[in-house]
Every structure is written in structure tokens, then in C-alpha cells.
Structure 1
């Protein structure tokens, strides 16, 4: 199942914050839609702005409704719109997530209700965003919220540097080289990175590399070419990594509906 402009309205902000990406989604017709979500190298806030909390999630067989935070590597996750859905999606790179939400390590592998993290503020945030008259106003409110919360804490500059370098290189860097760049031992970088971002540098590189490969597959590139461009040893290596992250084959990822609007939502 693929999406087109007649089914889902997508809005994006004119300006973006560092390490933060936002998009607004409005399902035009009140129909049930089941979407298998693909892992991204980001912690994701899905803020349900529908009037009747229409968004629901199935997380490894457990149901959740309303606004959630999707941590890194959440496992099998399906989102379902039971009626007309308005949703603000905020993707936070792990460095930003650790500042905005607290240590990202606590979110790895988890899907958590937003009010479990923000308490009563989650309801106030939803109400303010729902009352806004345009997506531009919603983006401005969300940007103010993220900026304010991010000012309260920071990750180590060395960890932030290692993340940015890994992301920029699409996962094709060695941990020893990153440790040399920041002047730490390999063991110290490994430990601090995992404690603050929730995954090891090596696993972060795998996730970033997979994300690039998944988008190439969704764009119609053949698996053999994706394996070569993505830095995999061969097509079988790509297949094993895609299966490990999604439970799908490369062909299954290429058809994943969650990726079909990524180029529009996250240009």
C-alpha cells in the first residue's frame, strides 16, 4: 500500500532546528489505515492532534492510543488511524532526544506514552497544538517547546561529535577512528555514547547505514546496487541487516508504506 496526495495531506515547516525534523500529517478520509513503521536513526514523537485521539499503535502485540514517543529500535510497530487523524511528528536525533526527553538510553527499544515522560505538560502541549489554527503555528509552538526543553541539559560534546560524524558518513566510520578524533579511548567513547544515546557507536552506524539503504530501496534501486552504495559486503549482508531491523526482505522494505512519503515529509 502506497500513499498519495489524495489520501494524506503533509505539511512541513519552512525552517528547521538543528537535529530536529518536523512534519504534520492529516488523513483526509475517515478510514482505517494500518501502517508498519520502519526504524529510523531518531527518537520520534507522534503527537495525536485528532479530536478523539484517533491514533492507535500496536507494539509487539500491546495496544497504545494517543501521543507516544518511539525510541530507537522499537521492534515491530504498527500505527492505525481509526478516523480522521491529525498528527504532528517530531524526529529528534539521539543527541537532541537526550536533551529534550532525558537520557535516550531509557527509550531504546520502547514505545512510551508521552504523558509518562512529560506528565501533565503533555496534555497542555496537546491542547495548545490542537487549538492552533495552522500547521505553521503548530510548528512554531513545537519549535519553542523543543528549544526550551533542550536548553536544560546537554550530552558530552565528544558524544555529539561522534554522532554527527557517523551520521554524515552514513555509518561508514570505524569507532577507533572516532575515538581518536575526540581524544578518548575506544572503551570510554563506547561507554559514554551508549549511556547517553541508548545504543553503541557500532549499532548507531548499523542503524544509519540501514536507514540510507531503506530509502534507496523505497526509491526503486535494486538490492545489489544498494548493497554496494551502502557499504555492505554483498547483497546477502544487506538482506541480513534489513531482516534484523525490520523482519522483512529488501523487497518488503521497498514496498513499506511508511517510507513512501518520507521524501515529502523529510526533504
Structure 2
């Protein structure tokens, strides 16, 4: 769970890259304007609550001064317990979360805008998720297979994982399709891509430049060219071009926890009991 506020960012289009987690955003403003491509973004309406499935191409997000909200990375296997439908049923082009959250989602947005500290905002959303939660766990073979794939960083062979959980690769693929809308090999690619993206971003924030070869090796790609091809598929541009575009104005502040809203480019991370519960639908 991450709180963000950007007071003086340039108006631009941000690329929301694919990952193996579900993005859930509750805004502190009128909402996020997002679309699957630049052309659709021109007519996108603001979504005060944003929720989207596992998309395979970069979403286009309108960046503008004053944007603020709380963003969560939800485990795809917990979506059914939180929203009553599997992750496979979430849209990958329509990001309006009110379709699933309904009046309670709108009330959550209104109540969040009335809070004054990150802690209060985090607690409000955590309580909302606890209240929504119904114990609808996925099949244990699927939960274990996801965990094994995640622990390997997306490098494990699907055939080996299927054997470890006592299923055929075809049966495991059916379970993945039914619950998350993607085959296990695609989920593995998303995990590796997200690992590389995070390493690149961390390197830029720490050293001011991207170590693409190191990120490729750490994520298990055969070489930097392999990483570039995956970036082309998922982001629509090479990693160096993405880094130059997304980190034009890197300003990360870190005020003390508990501060009021209003910090520029601030991120507060929260991982409490509710987050841990959502993060492991298998109950481990």
C-alpha cells in the first residue's frame, strides 16, 4: 500500500507497465484518467477508484499536478475473496473500479478525501478490505503453484511446477486461465519483467543511471537483448527509452510517517495485517 502526492509534476502521459499483481487505486482527487492506448486516453473519464486485471501492454495514464491517492498491489488470487469475482473477470481496458465496488467504493473514495494523514488513509482502506473479505480461496494446487512460480522469480518451468503440485501442465493452465485470465507461462514472464523493471528503477534512483545488463542477469534473461525484447512486448519501447521517459524528474522525498497530506512526490509504504492476509490467499 503506497500513498502518493505530486504537487508540481509536468502534464504528461505516464506508462503503467504490466505486472503479476492487480492494481487498486483509491484517489484523493477526482480520479485517474487511464486508457489502454494514447488515442483512447483523450476521451477517458476520471476514475475515483481504479481496478484492473493483468494487462499485457502498458496502460496510458494522464499525469497532472495535484494527483494524489493510495495505490495497492493486490494478489490476483485474492481478488475473488475481495470483490466476488476472479481476477480473470477484471477488465484490462476499462479501469473504472466502481463497477465492482459500487456504492461502497464511492463511499470509500469520499471518506478517504476527508482524512488528513497517511496513517488514517491506510487504516480506512485496510478496514474496508477486511469488511469486504469473504473466504473464497482458490484451489490449493493453484495457490501452491503460484507460490512456487513466484519464489523462482518466474524462472521455474511450468512442467516442473505442475508435477510438484500433482497436476498435468494442461490442467494447471486451465486453472490459471479460469482464475487469473492468463496461462502460467505468461504469469512467469510478467514476474520476470516486473523484477527487471524494479531493479532498473531502483538503480536509477540510487545511482542516477540504469544498469540494464545487471537487471537482465538478475531477472534471469539470457542477455540484455532478451530484456529489450520483453520490454518491447510489455512496455512498447526499449528499457533505455522507458527509463528516459519515466525518470525525467526523479524527486523522491521521505518525510516521517504520520505527516499530513501535501508532500511533493511522497511515497509512504504500509504493509499491515490486512496486507499480509490479502497477499497470501493460501493462508500460509
**2:78 & 2:243 partners in 1: Cα distance?**
29
The 3-state SS of whatever aligns with 1:24 is strand
The 3-state SS of whatever aligns with 2:95 is strand
**2:184 & 2:147 partners in 1: Cα distance?**
11
User: Per-residue CA shift, 1:146-188, capped at 9, x if unaligned?
Assistant: 2332324221122111112211211011111111221122111
Deviation at 1:266, TM superposition (A): 5.8
Q: Does 1:209 align with 2:192?
A: yes
Q: Does 1:65 align with 2:46?
A: yes
Counterpart residue number, 2:17: 38
Unaligned stretches of 5+ residues in structure 2: 204-208, 253-264, 271-284
**1:68 & 1:203 partners in 2: Cα distance?**
23
Cα RMSD (Å) of the superposition?
2.6
Counterpart residue number, 2:70: 88
Q: TM-score, normalised by structure 2?
A: 0.77
Is the Cα contact below 8 Å between 2:86 and 2:179 reproduced in 1? Answer: yes
Deviation at 1:93, TM superposition (A): 1.8
Say which of 59, 75, 90 aligns to 1:77: 59
Within 5 A, what are the aligned runs for 1:144-183? 144-183=127-166
Task: From the two aligned structures, give the one with the greater strand fraction.
Answer: 1
Counterpart residue number, 2:223: 234
Counterpart residue number, 1:198: 181
**1:187 & 1:256 partners in 2: Cα distance?**
40
Within 5 A, what are the aligned runs for 1:8-27? 22-27=1-6
The 3-state SS of whatever aligns with 1:172 is coil
Counterpart residue number, 2:171: 188
Most deviating of 168-177 and 223-232 = 223-232
Most deviating of 28-37 and 241-250 = 28-37
Counterpart residue number, 1:97: 79
Is the Cα contact below 8 Å between 1:38 and 1:246 reproduced in 2? Answer: yes
Is the Cα contact below 8 Å between 2:28 and 2:113 reproduced in 1? Answer: yes
**1:183 & 1:246 partners in 2: Cα distance?**
35
Ranked by relative contact order (alpha carbons within 8 Å, sequence separation 6 or more), the top structure is 2
**1:81 & 1:160 partners in 2: Cα distance?**
36
Cα 1:229–1:69 change in 2 (3 A) is: same
Cα 1:74–1:258 change in 2 (3 A) is: farther
